[in-house]
Amino acid sequence: MTPATNILLALATPLIGAVLIVAAHRVPNVRESVTMVTASVLFLLVASLTPLVLAGERPEVTLLEMMPGLSLKFKVEPLGMLFGLIASGLWIVNSLYSIGYMRANDEQHQTRFYVCFAGALASAIGIAFAGNLLTLFVFYEALTLITYPLVTHAGTEDAKRAGRVYLGLLVGTSIGFLLVAMVWIWHLTGTVDFQPGGILLGKAGNATVGVLLALCVFGIGKAALMPFHRWLPAAMVAPTPVSALLHAVAVVKAGVFSVLKVIIYIFGVGEIAGLKSVDWLPFFAGFTIIVASVIALRSDNLKRRLAYSTVSQLSYVVLAAALLTPLSIVGAALHIATHAVGKITLFFAAGAIYTAAHKTEVSQLNGIGRRMPWTMGAFTVGALSLIGIPPAAGFVSKWFIISGAIDGGHYLALGVLIASTLLNAAYFLPIVHAAFFRAPDAGGHEHGEAPWPMVVALSITAAMTIALFFFADLPLRLVSQLVGMRYGQ
């Protein structure tokens, strides 16, 4: 199998899976098996490309020419490789979790749910492997549309309203800003290809680069940079597995991944470093980090707290990318991975608490750790990772981002990172403390852990969070290629 067919198969697998899921809609056990098998096959296909990319190859394939000179094409480079591995790998775990959650909560329209999930993964892989900005845009929009039925899954008035915010902000920013930026780049350079070192050097002046960067960064609404972040908390109306995979991994990570990809391969890190017109971005990112953390601190609803925590953590990636130093770029790329495993664990835990104990508010969680030790143990691991305490994965990426900030002399960014670490601790540690050390409130009903598939899933992601600390080698080898560093030398 050539790498080109491998890429196309990876894109086709979730779609074939979706068709099979529809075909098997009458037999839930077969349907869920199809999901699990599809997810596993996808992961193997993606993983089989990894050695090539590590060896420095960049397999590519052109699917079709959409408009003269503008193709849909795919090219696997280290950053996309990393994102593809995370999205497809966590889909397996998430499918396991979904089975437990959807059955235990007796959700409706389960077939539609699994079909849209598969479609979302196909879009995420398309984004990960996109060889040019046009391809990225096509799959970015596809991801928004295919996740709309997931966000509005409940079909209630609330879900409908949340769907409006979700779609309005994501489609509004992407068509309103990103499309214009893309056509503008095409007009200036005659290409939209992702190339190391960017494509704008010598083609666009200082001011133009600044405007284009703004159009790109705000146009990628999935990165949830303030003031275009509201869709993320709104989307929490969705069932928890959706929040977990889409709003901790596929959708939001597609956002920050796109930002990072555009900065590295369209603008060029070294090429725009030091330009006066791009130095505003760290302030916006820093502002988002702090403000979102404060909102998270003040939210009693657990999922809302996690949502704002996500908004804040996404801006870590944007901030790190905006610092434009090699170390911070490595940190940004790593943070996509480390935050993904940590946050999905937290969401899994929140869903498990909802399923077993029917509790949604932070203030209801006193003593819950005694009844659900596995769940709350995993929650603790996820929280530690987000705060950045070893031995959890979050420490590694934070280390690189902080090193990058010091390296580039961005002391304000350093201050933001320190303040936000404290805020993270302030909104996560009380939950852990209450769960394990406070006595349960009187009058609560008896319950144990959530159904086993959920507990297994969240234990796996918690283990991954720890493992990524000790075996950060693979992601580091991948992302150090981004900045031309040879890891280990």
Partner 1 sequence: MISQHFPILQVVLPLIAAPVIILLRNGRAAWLLATTVSWVSLIIALALLEQVSAGGVISYAIGSWPPPWGIEYRIDQVNAFLLVLVSLIAAVVSVYSRASVDAELPREQHYLFYAMFALCLAGLLGIAATGDAFNLFVFLEISSLSSYVLIALGRDRRALMAAYQYLVMGTIGATFYIIGVGLLYLMTGTLNMADMAHRLSGVAEVKPVLAALAFITVGICLKLALFPLHLWLPNAYAYAPSAVTAFLAATATKVSVYVLLRFYFSVFGASAIFLALPMGQILLVLSLAAMFIASTVAIFQSDIKRMFAYSSVAQIGYITLGISFDSATGLTAGIVHLFNHALTKGALFMLLGCFALRLGRVSFSDIGGIARVMPVTAFGIVLGGLSLIGVPGTVGFVSKWYLVLAALESGQWWIALAIVLSSLLAVVYVWRFVEVAYFHQPDAKLAKLKEARLEMLVPAWLMIAACIYFGLDAELTVSGAAQAAATLLQGVR
Residues making contact with partner 1 (CB under 8 A): 64-68, 72, 134, 137-138, 141-142, 145, 152, 155, 160, 163-164, 167-168, 171-172, 175-176, 179-180, 183-184, 186-187
C-beta closer to partner 1: residue 165 or 429 = 165
Cα separation, 133 vs 124, whole angstroms:
14
C-beta closer to partner 1: residue 148 or 469 = 148
Longest dimension (CA), the chain: 69
C-beta closer to partner 1: residue 145 or 466 = 145
CB 158 to partner 1: min, Å: 11
CB 212 to partner 1: min, Å: 11
Upstream peptide bond of 391 is cis (omega within 30 degrees of 0): yes
Amino acid at 271: E
Length of the chain, please?
A: 489
Cα separation, 10 vs 224, whole angstroms:
28
CB 182 to partner 1: min, Å: 9
C-beta closer to partner 1: residue 47 or 70 = 70
CB 139 to partner 1: min, Å: 9
Q: Could you please report the per-residue DSSP string of 35-68?
A: HHHHHHHHHHHHHHHHHHHHTT---EEEEEEEET
C-beta closer to partner 1: residue 239 or 286 = 239
DSSP-assigned letter for residue 451: P
Write down the residue that tokens 């790998």 correspond to: 89
DSSP-assigned letter for residue 130: B
C-beta closer to partner 1: residue 153 or 339 = 153
Tally the C-alpha atoms within 13 A of residue 138's C-alpha that lie toward its C-beta.
19
CB 109 to partner 1: min, Å: 11
Q: In degrees rounded to 5, what are phi and psi of residue 220?
A: -90, 80
CB 251 to partner 1: min, Å: 17
Cα separation, 71 vs 184, whole angstroms:
17
CB 143 to partner 1: min, Å: 11
Amino acid at 315: S
Write down the residue that tokens 């599809």 correspond to: 38
Amino acid at 316: Y
Q: Could you please report the per-residue DSSP string of 350-380?
A: HHHHHHHH---BGGG-TTHHHH-HHHHHHHH
- What is the dihedral angle through the alpha carbons of 18, 84, 75, 398, rounded to the nearest 10 degrees? 150
CB 68 to partner 1: min, Å: 6
C-beta closer to partner 1: residue 11 or 99 = 11
User: Closest Cα to residue 295, out of 236, 345, 351, 214?
Assistant: 236
Upstream peptide bond of 227 is cis (omega within 30 degrees of 0): yes
C-beta closer to partner 1: residue 186 or 436 = 186
CA 137 centroid distance within chain = 17
CB 66 to partner 1: min, Å: 6
C-beta closer to partner 1: residue 12 or 180 = 180
